[in-house]
A and B are shown apart, each in its own frame.
Chain A
Amino acid sequence: MSYKLKIALNVNSESFEADVEPRMLASDFLRDELGLTGTHVGCEHGACGTCTIILNGVSVRSCLLLAVQLDEANIETVEGLGTTREMHRIQHAFREHHALQCGFCTPGFLITVREILDTLPLRNDKEIREALSGNICRCTGYDHIVKAVRTLVNERDKRLNS
């Protein structure tokens, strides 16, 4: 299989062009070709959410997509959220609440949280738990993640109301 297709895309506001085999997974492309290893692969069958990225404004599982489907797309990965020196508010909230242990699931959660803060009312913890239930964390038992998201939702609501 050496047949390749050319793709052009934008990842975290940077443009890339690449030749990829049609069968290459988007997750492998981001990690192995672009070196963006913050996006993790936990199951490769759409069940764990560790590979979640934003594709044209909507969260998707990069293990269920092919790299060629990223052609002309705008992608956001965890690397685009914030840096160690200047973390995004979501990242800060996760740290304050100890919402991560091994950190392997974390990029997927951060991306999911980024989306649901914009799209869902998240009126109570039950709704937060439902909204997060597509991402698996094996370390934290979710309690601290829910607390971090609760804090972020409260901040958001306060902003919206003022």
Chain B
Amino acid sequence: MIDSTAFVRPKYVGKPIRRLEDPRLLTGQGRYTADIQLPRTAHLAFIRSNQAYARINGINLDEAKTLNGVIGVFTASDFTHIPDIKAVSNMENYQVTSCPVLARDVVRYVGEPVVAIAAISRYVAEDAAALIEIDYDTLDVAVTARDALAKNAPKLHDKLASNIILERNFATGNAPVEIANAPHKVSGRFSLTRKTSVSTEPRAYLADYDVGKDELILYDSTNIPGIVRDEIGHLLNLNGNQIRVIAPDVGGSFGGKGSLYPEEIIVADLSRRLERPIKYVADRLEELTASSQAFGEEVEATLAFDADGQFIALDAEIIGDIGAYSIYPWTAALEPVQVASFLPGPYKTPVYRGRVRGVCTPKPPTGPYRGVGRPMAVFVMERLVDLAATKLNLSKVEIRRRNLVRAEDFPHRSSSGIVWDQSGFQECLETAEKAVSKLNLENRKKKSNKWIGVGYACYAELTGIGSRISVAPGMPMNTGTETASISIDATGAVTAKFGIASHGQSLETTLAQIVGEELGIKPEDVRIIQGDTAFSLHGTGTYASRSAVLGGGAAIKTSRALLIKVKQVAATLFNVDPEQVETGDGLIFVHNTNHAINFKELAQAVYSDMKTLPMEKRETLAAQESFDPFLGTTSSSAHVAVVEIDPETLVIKLQDFIVAEDCGKLINPLVVDGQVHGGVAQGVGVALLEELKFDDMGQPITATLADYLIPTSAEMPPMQVHHLETQLPPNPGGFRGMGEGGTIGAPAAIANAVADAVSHLGLCIDSLPITPNKLHALIAAKSKH
């Protein structure tokens, strides 16, 4: 008998449950795309443009074609049946670019694929590549965004009106007038150089065409399998039931695996044409030169405020160096337009003018990168806030406190149009301030002969965005819905299927915690299937901090619908009212009675026994529900960085990093901490290390991981993460998204800390990454004056 006074239904949500995906990943049993080996596979290598902008005069393939082991050599003329990739938009003032799967007539960036070679091994494919000559005529081109903006700049795309492929204006009130009349103002010209995602697993694709069934399976290291299926289906003229995209174990993305790439379309197409598996695994050079890149933005901004430090108006001119093509599906508006949308930040800034322009340059396309737009927006705003504090001689915390939206102001519509709701803006700052006071920095400063600086950054972000707006401005695609389908099979086992696609986010665990808690079974008894289009009708994937809110919401709704069925069936079996039936820890029971069965017995009664239940009571134990939060949730955070700069070498060392964040209800605190840590590490890269450099001709000069530096354990400081659960958002579960936040706040906090450390020198820290060399240059320039 289950004693109602003694039985407590176990809770799984909120617990630091060990990850269910770990055993396989820890023992070398994970299955990443490159690990999958199929008989008769042909391996692809690409020859990529070595020119930034050039006309292709001719390609000599003769020798390569006859090389032993070569299966086929392909150029643009072999893919005339595939339409160009076009990212359309509802935005006014947007020009669509046409991106052929292999460069046709013209190349537009170093790294653009020109020739594809299929051979019996990657070694042979690369041998063949060495035998191919491509004759280019270089063309005049503007390499930087500033040059490409000029009226008479050579156009990168003949057919477009200009290099400016998008423009959008934001205006609330009359910012220029307010600024002119304001008692105080600060301004600056800020830039974030280009960077890239660098997931440790390079992109990989393996297509397996079944001629007999006319079905294509594409194993794909992507975080958007649903979008890949839909669009490759469209481009290759296949129905959704003829193409299945499987994202097996995926080794990180951070945005880099979240767009549609020419290589995956070619792999899919060639597998059908050659009727054999086709595999392509990018190498690191290809990753650094031909996967989507990020930032490349310049912002000129002015903040006006009164004598109390209350913000009056903000004005910004934003230029985004979007690269050669507008990326599918997000478009080139994704990053720069969100810089403009998020610039006013979590502050009350009543008047705002922002103009954003995206400019085509002969560089790899920019695409989504963790934080999208917000790292730049927060960097600019937080630098301005610190400059304002300095000007008024106010504390950096006090000026923020005075301007952050307060609890009583929610919902607050920001001057760029974003609605902030119920999130701990002030509380995060307060918590961070307390944590800083415990560091005893005054003492440290006194004892040290180094320059020590502290930097704050506050931000808010919209996460778990519903169908009211697309996650990318103007993109005509619904990213606001996710569906779950959960079933109990004839053995009593629970399987839950989702359209999202984990690439490190621990979704197999966190979703199992949710489903387990809702249904009353142990998380380890729930099998989560995700990242496979065969199991979801529609689903766009995992990005934009949406999976906990949307996937979690769908999990809750669906589990509850299934639980109703479970209770109904059990009620018939027990001959009681469905309301009396409870579940927990794998049991279905009625308190204080002998009625108790497990899920296996329930399934048996429904599916297998022919007598236990009358036919009309044998419900299918399955449910499918979608969740759409319509608006979205507001996550917020305050970051603090403490840096120490060696006056001799100018080496910048991060000493402490503090995060106070409000992501609503935590599903698994270990996982949340991990996401914050990882996000901050990437923010450290943005602030101090990572920079893709191009020379005057548009040649990339950071093409190895020895040139493009990412943080190692030695550069990372110990981190403190404080979680606040202020008022929970009204969505199922009360979750907010948090996967990107670390990367959003850290660059600004570190920039402010460096500026604080060198405040006695009066240097402007307005471009990231800031490095010892750049600091040296700033000091040298200052002493010349």
- The answer to whether A and B interact is yes
State the A residues within 8 Å of B (CB). 1-2, 21, 23-24, 31-32, 35-45, 47-48, 50, 77-79, 81-84, 87, 91, 94-96, 98, 100-107, 110, 125, 128-130, 132-146
Q: Are A83 and B27 in contact (CB under 8 A)?
A: yes
Q: Are A43 and B26 in contact (CB under 8 A)?
A: no
Q: Which residues of B contact A137 (CB under 8 A)?
A: 200, 713
Q: Are A100 and B678 in contact (CB under 8 A)?
A: no
- Option from A39, A79, A101 in Cβ contact (under 8 Å) with B27: A79
The secondary-structure label for the interface of chain A is loop
Q: Are A42 and B284 in contact (CB under 8 A)?
A: yes
Q: Are A98 and B674 in contact (CB under 8 A)?
A: yes
Of B29-37, B104-112, B165-173, the stretch lying at the interface with chain A is: B29-37
State the B residues within 8 Å of A (CB). 16, 18-19, 21-32, 34-35, 37, 68, 123-124, 127, 198-202, 249-252, 254, 283-284, 503-506, 670-671, 673-682, 704-706, 710-714, 716, 718-719, 742
Bound Cα distance from A92 to B716, whole angstroms: 24
Cβ-closest chain A residue relative to B122: A28
Bound Cα distance from A85 to B480, whole angstroms: 39
Q: Are A133 and B712 in contact (CB under 8 A)?
A: yes
Q: Are A98 and B673 in contact (CB under 8 A)?
A: yes
Q: Are A143 and B714 in contact (CB under 8 A)?
A: no
Q: Nearest chain A CB to B714's CB is how many angstroms away?
A: 4
Q: How many A-B residue pairs have CB under 8 A?
A: 193
Q: Are A130 and B714 in contact (CB under 8 A)?
A: yes
- Option from A2, A50, A132, A138 in Cβ contact (under 8 Å) with B254: A138
Q: Are B25 and A100 in contact (CB under 8 A)?
A: yes
Q: Nearest chain B CB to A125's CB is how many angstroms away?
A: 7
Q: Which residues of B contact A32 (CB under 8 A)?
A: 37
- Option from B21, B201, B705, B719 in Cβ contact (under 8 Å) with A104: B201
Q: Are A144 and B673 in contact (CB under 8 A)?
A: yes
Q: Are A38 and B29 in contact (CB under 8 A)?
A: yes
Q: Nearest chain B CB to A32's CB is how many angstroms away?
A: 7
Q: Nearest chain B CB to A89's CB is how many angstroms away?
A: 12
- Option from A1, A37, A44, A142 in Cβ contact (under 8 Å) with B716: A142
Q: Are A129 and B504 in contact (CB under 8 A)?
A: no
Q: Are A98 and B671 in contact (CB under 8 A)?
A: yes
Q: Nearest chain A CB to B705's CB is how many angstroms away?
A: 4
Residue from A45, A47, A104, A133 having most chain B Cβ neighbours under 10 A: A104
Q: Are B127 and A1 in contact (CB under 8 A)?
A: yes
Q: Which residues of A contact B506 (CB under 8 A)?
A: 101
Q: Nearest chain B CB to A75's CB is how many angstroms away?
A: 13
Q: Which residues of A contact B714 (CB under 8 A)?
A: 129-130, 132-133
Q: Which residues of B contact A47 (CB under 8 A)?
A: 284, 704-706
Bound Cα distance from A139 to B252, whole angstroms: 7
Residue from A1, A39, A81, A143 having most chain B Cβ neighbours under 10 A: A143
Bound Cα distance from A1 to B126, whole angstroms: 12
Cβ-closest chain B residue relative to A80: B28
Bound Cα distance from A48 to B704, whole angstroms: 10
Bound Cα distance from A79 to B30, whole angstroms: 11
* Shortest Cβ-Cβ A-B pairs, 6 listed: A38-B28, A104-B251, A103-B25, A141-B677, A102-B504, A141-B681
Subset of 10 A-B contacts with CB under 8 Å: A42-B284, A45-B284, A47-B705, A102-B249, A102-B504, A132-B714, A138-B254, A141-B711, A142-B712, A143-B718
Cβ-closest chain B residue relative to A95: B22
Q: Are A138 and B198 in contact (CB under 8 A)?
A: yes
Bound Cα distance from A96 to B124, whole angstroms: 44
Q: Are A44 and B284 in contact (CB under 8 A)?
A: yes
Q: Which residues of B contact A102 (CB under 8 A)?
A: 25, 199-201, 249-252, 503-504
Bound Cα distance from A110 to B30, whole angstroms: 14
Bound Cα distance from A50 to B705, whole angstroms: 13
Q: Nearest chain B CB to A14's CB is how many angstroms away?
A: 14
Q: Are B706 and A138 in contact (CB under 8 A)?
A: no
Bound Cα distance from A68 to B31, whole angstroms: 27
Bound Cα distance from A125 to B717, whole angstroms: 10
Q: Which residues of A contact B675 (CB under 8 A)?
A: 101
